[in-house]
Amino acid sequence: MSRTLRLLITGGGTGGHTYPALTTLSAIQRRQVAHDVLWVGTAGGLEARITTEHGIPFKAITTGKLRRRPNLRELGTNLADVFRIPVGVIQAVVHAARYLPDVVLSTGGYVAVPIGVAAKLIRRPLVMHEQTTVVGLANRMLARLATRIALSHESSLEYLPASARDKAVVTGNPIRPELLHGSQAAAYDLFGLTFEVPLIYVTGGAQGSKQINTLIAEILPGLLPHAQVVHQCGPAWIEQMRAIQLPPELADRYHPVPYVGAELADLYAAADVVIARSGAGTVSELTAVGRPSVLIPLIPTGGDEQRKNAAYLVSAGAARALLEPRPTADLLLAELMPLLADPGLRGSMADAARKLGRIDAADVLCDVLLDAAHWPR
């Protein structure tokens, strides 16, 4: 065995696939394990930018998307992808064979399939991680090739092929450790908040959400007498949200911002309620920090995963959710008002969320990787 752990990472396209891998890599670095890393992804995916920002060696491959329900409008794209997939597999095999990793970490997305095939062909252990409650199509394919399967939720087991379930372990979904150490006081100082009413943090993701922004705009007059709001609305929406006309006595309670970066940990620490989508990363963060939420799933998504993620938290008493495809402002307000009026209800939901959280997920996944590589720890 070499003295330096050689780790090949694949996965990306979105933050939900990219950040768990990055966080796990950070856990390896914190342990001071001598390591070398290569990340294989797509040139247009988020992983290409993130690896550049963090100085991680990166190789791009071609890949195609396997559509569950192809239609005639996508016929040309589907045909092109039929040819892209074998090209991507060849490229993946070349990169993997040249690098010869001790272990491969796959965190999903269609780019992970060629590397998973390559790992099998060159006989290297493959650890596959699934972030959502529903195992995605790419990961269902890789499950049969994987050495170990790391799941974020116990309920994901039923979505695996029966022959692969004995390889599965529940690790949780790695989140950035800094999110666990926010300061309520820092958030209140930054946004000029008051302790007179509860704080709602609203996010539709880095780019914002038209649906969420529209709903918030509609309910603000009825909401702000009972709450204050910090709203990450996205850069394209900031001027429109700032232009909303509110009664002068309530205007200071609404704080739209284009983007939330390093202050996210402080906002989580300060928020009494969070309104958000229910992607895998958001759900993992909400449960790790223990915050009650009202979830508005993005519908449709592949496998309807966001609605299933939301239902998972609702069934545990950790969240409320608008599961209808076109929720109304009145429905959102009706879900919020009991939470704002009852600190005890918020507290019980926070406890339920915290019980679902896995703040040690990155370290547990790190252990799975080292074990698969037969590496001492």
pLDDT band at 81 (very low <50, low <70, confident <90, very high): low
Average pLDDT estimate for 165-170: 96
> Residue 370: what are its φ and ψ, rounded to 5°?
-65, -35
236, 229 contact by CB (below 8 A)? no
Q: Is 185 exposed, middle or buried (0-12, 13-18, 19+ CB in 10 A)?
A: exposed
Over the stretch 305-332, which tens digit does the pLDDT of each residue have?
Answer: 899 999 999 999 999 999 998 999 999 9
The 10s digit of each residue's pLDDT in 330-341 is 999 999 999 999
Nearest of 161, 211, 184, 26 to residue 105 by alpha carbon: 26
Average pLDDT, the chain: 92
Give the separation between CA 344 and CA 39, rounded to whole angstroms.
46
DSSP 93-106: HHHHHHH--SEEEE
Read off the pLDDT of residues 273-306 as tens digits, 9 standing for 90 and up. Answer: 999 999 999 999 999 999 999 999 998 766 688 9
- Please give the pLDDT value at position 14: 82
Q: Looking at the chain, which runs of residues are DSSP E strands?
A: 5-10, 35-41, 58-60, 103-106, 126-130, 148-151, 168-170, 199-203, 228-232, 254-257, 273-276, 293-295, 319-321
Contact (Cβ atoms closer than 8 angstroms) between residue 133 and residue 312: yes
Sheet holding 228-232, edge to edge: 254-257, 228-232, 199-203, 273-276, 293-295, 319-321
CB of 248 closer than 8 Å to CB of 238: no
Per the CB < 8 A criterion, the answer to whether 216 and 330 are in contact is no
- Pull the structure tokens for residue 50: 């993130």
Pair of tokens at residue 184: 């309520």
Confidence at 223, pLDDT banded by 50, 70, 90: very high
Residues in the chain: 377
Q: If 0-12 CB within 10 Å is exposed, 13-18 middle and 19+ buried, where does residue 306 land?
A: buried
pLDDT at 213: 98
Secondary structure of the chain: what % helix, strand, coil (to 5)? Answer: 50, 15, 35
Predicted structure pTM score: 0.87
Longest Cα–Cα distance of the chain, Å, equals 69
Domains (ranges, CATH) in the chain?
5-174+359-372 (3.40.50.2000), 178-356 (3.40.50.2000)
Query: Can you tell me the distance from the alpha carbon of 293 to that of 278, in angstroms, rounded to the nearest whole number?
Result: 10
Output the pLDDT for position 1. 46
For residues 127-159, one letter each, b for 16 or more C-beta atoms within 10 angstroms of the residue's C-beta and e for the rest, the string is bbbbbbbbbbbbbbbbbebbbbbbbbbeebeeb
Residue 283 vs residues 4, 28, 55, 120: alpha-carbon distances, Å: 35, 24, 28, 32
Contact 38, 59 (CB under 8 A): yes
Question: What is the pLDDT, as a whole number, of residue 221?
Answer: 96
Give the confidence band of 155 by pLDDT, cuts at 50, 70, 90.
confident
CA separation for the pair 41, 59 (Å, rounded): 6
